[in-house]
Amino acid sequence: MILPDVIYLAATAGANTSPPPPFLSTMASADVDEPIDSPTSPNDDSDAGLSGPPEPEPIPGIDGTPVRWYDADRTEPYTRITPFQERVDTSVEFFYKPPTLIALALLLAFLAYTAIAPDVLAEGRDKRRVGAYAAVTAFLAFGILQFRDGPFIRPHPAFWRAVLGVNLLYELALVFLLFQDLPSARGMLLLLDPRLGVPLPEKGYADDCALTPRNLWSALDVFCVAHTLGWFGKAMILRDYWFCWILSVAFELAEYSLQHQLPNFNECWWDHWILDVLVCNWIGTYLGMKTCQYFEVKPYAWRGLRATRGLRSKARRVALQFSPHDWTAFAWGPARSLKNYLCVVGLLAVFLGAELAPFYLKSLLWMEPDHPIVVMRLAFIFLCALPAVRELFQYVNDPRRALRMGQHVALLLATVLTEGLVIYKWSAGQFPAPLPRAVRWGWAAGGAALVLYPGVQFGIPAARRWVRKQKQKGKGRRVKGE
């Protein structure tokens, strides 16, 4: 934009002609005075002048018209997935360009040294564990370099590719365990921790249910802190107050329903509704939603590391690399459409399954609640759920740009379902107590309400619209007949 004006002025300077036309002067002054927006754009991490202004995002739909999934043209620009490293030019380019050959060479050198060096693997030492760790490392290295990018790009897309790789490894381990019996699975866990393999004593928490300060104080332990942190994480995942409250109450009802199988679900009424729901769950949800509100109103104006001046500013920019790049507030809207309602109910069921699975697995595999495997599984599910729920929200609420379910949500759904299959297989003969009749009738009533609500909310209005449309068609036919 500046170059034509410079040529024009140079050509007319010696001729002492009139000033350039107004439109050229306006264009030149606009280009010179206005700053470039790309260094502070929330969708761009690049420095000014590296690769020019970013390409505009394609307009969703066809000329702004929403596209249904069954008649969408897969060749349209809005259906294409652009990898992060191809659409973002960063100030530290080598940090975002996958060094495939260098990483392959370093990995092979590490594996060769580990497998051949005599001081690492001495003769007679058990080499199965080291071989398994090496195989996991090689798989994660391949996933970090070759997996598709998800919805998150901070602190780095490679981190979320590694999370996806860990999820896939866990799913493969569950598929392997699905074909093993329970005694074999318990024996395999001895390779990870020789202290396992010992039956756990059955423990209940309803011995003294008198609501006294002493009983309340004795119930406050480290698990209350873990409970609060867990609900802080759920609020960060779901980003909805009502969803968290419904899930909190539903989980307590699930504990009531399954306490005939798991004795540690047998708690006092005040432990369920006061200590859990009104104290731990509420504090965690409140703090989590306040954090979400902060990220929602926080201005996001990113500047590249090279464009940041001063050591303190550069250190602050590095620290901000571990904060969200942007933030999307979730409005699930279960009463908006049948699709949103089914999504919310399905997500609630998956969350309950993911919450109940570790209790059954640790009971079947004889692991304490604070065992490192149990803790790592909870932390891993939290990391996997962050991008998975984000992909699900976009898939449900923005089908013009997300025509298929994301990789994180599909793999996490498969993981939770496989956990359920493993628990169902191993539970044969382990929980002989029958389901109480009150629990059976309660869940039947709840299921009927879940089916009745969409019929009233969506079915009746749809039937009215259909009847009205048929009446209009009948009137049109009579008018044509006359």
Model pLDDT, residue 108? 84
Mean pLDDT, residues 191-217: 82
SS3 205: strand
Q: Are 141 and 169 in contact (CB under 8 A)?
A: no
Residues 458 and 188: their CA atoms lie apart, in Å, by: 51
Say which range, 29-38, 78-87, 425-434, has the weakest mean pLDDT. 29-38
For 274, the domain range is 204-449
Mean pLDDT, residues 257-268: 89
Q: How confident is the model at residue 473 (pLDDT cuts 50, 70, 90)?
A: confident
Q: Is the pLDDT of residue 296 over 70?
A: yes
What's the chain's length in residues? 482
Residues 232 and 289: their CA atoms lie apart, in Å, by: 8
More confident residue, 88 or 234: 234
Q: Is the pLDDT of residue 62 over 50?
A: yes
* Percent above pLDDT 70 for the chain: 75
Give, in order, the Cα–Cα distances in Å from 26 to each of 29, 76, 211, 331, 462: 5, 37, 78, 44, 56
Q: Is the pLDDT of residue 294 over 60?
A: yes
Say which range, 93-102, 104-113, 199-208, 433-442, has the weakest mean pLDDT. 93-102
Asked if residue 88 belongs to a domain, the reply is: no
Model pLDDT, residue 120? 59
Model pLDDT, residue 481? 64
Residues 250 and 447: their CA atoms lie apart, in Å, by: 13
Asked if residue 123 belongs to a domain, the reply is: no
Neighbours of 47 (CB within 10 A): 20
Smallest CA-to-CA distance from 66 within 296, 326, 337 is with 337
* Crossing angle of the two packed helices 338-364 and 407-426, in degrees rounded to 10: 50
Token digits for 10?
């140079």
Q: How confident is the model at residue 34 (pLDDT cuts 50, 70, 90)?
A: very low
Q: 91: which DSSP letter?
A: S
Asked if residue 430 belongs to a domain, the reply is: yes
How far, rounded to the nearest angstrom, does the alpha carbon of residue 67 sit from its chain's CA centroid?
25
Model pLDDT, residue 40? 35
Mean pLDDT, residues 140-149: 88
Model pLDDT, residue 233? 94
Q: How confident is the model at residue 421 (pLDDT cuts 50, 70, 90)?
A: very high
Q: Is the pLDDT of residue 9 over 60?
A: no
Mean pLDDT, residues 429-436: 89
Q: Is the pLDDT of residue 95 over 50?
A: yes
What residues have CB less than 8 Å from 136, skipping those under 6 apart?
A: 169
Asked if residue 92 belongs to a domain, the reply is: no
More confident residue, 398 or 76: 398
Q: Are 335 and 457 in contact (CB under 8 A)?
A: yes
Smallest CA-to-CA distance from 406 within 422, 384, 423 is with 384
Q: Which residues pair with 214 in a beta bridge?
A: none
Asked if residue 141 belongs to a domain, the reply is: no
Asked if residue 318 belongs to a domain, the reply is: yes
How far, rounded to the nearest angstrom, does the alpha carbon of residue 281 sit from its chain's CA centroid?
20
Mean pLDDT, residues 118-137: 73
Q: Is the pLDDT of residue 252 over 90?
A: yes
Model pLDDT, residue 19? 44
Q: How confident is the model at residue 392 (pLDDT cuts 50, 70, 90)?
A: very high
Alpha helices in 239-307 (DSSP H): 241-258, 269-270, 282-297
Residues 371 and 377: their CA atoms lie apart, in Å, by: 10
Asked if residue 98 belongs to a domain, the reply is: no
Asked if residue 436 belongs to a domain, the reply is: yes
| Mean pLDDT over the full length of the chain | 79
Backbone angles phi and psi of 65, in degrees to 5: -90, 130
With b meaning 16 or more CB within 10 Å and e meaning fewer, what string describes 93-116?
eeebebeeeeeeeebeeeeeeeee
What residues have CB less than 8 Å from 409, skipping those under 6 apart?
A: 388, 389, 391, 392, 395
Q: Which residues pair with 267 in a beta bridge?
A: 205
Summarised one tens digit per residue, pLDDT across range 337-350 is 888 999 999 999 99
Q: How confident is the model at residue 360 (pLDDT cuts 50, 70, 90)?
A: very high
More confident residue, 443 or 50: 443
What's the total number of domains in the chain? 2
Q: Are 153 and 321 in contact (CB under 8 A)?
A: no
Q: Are 154 and 325 in contact (CB under 8 A)?
A: yes
Q: Is the pLDDT of residue 4 over 60?
A: no
Model pLDDT, residue 317? 79
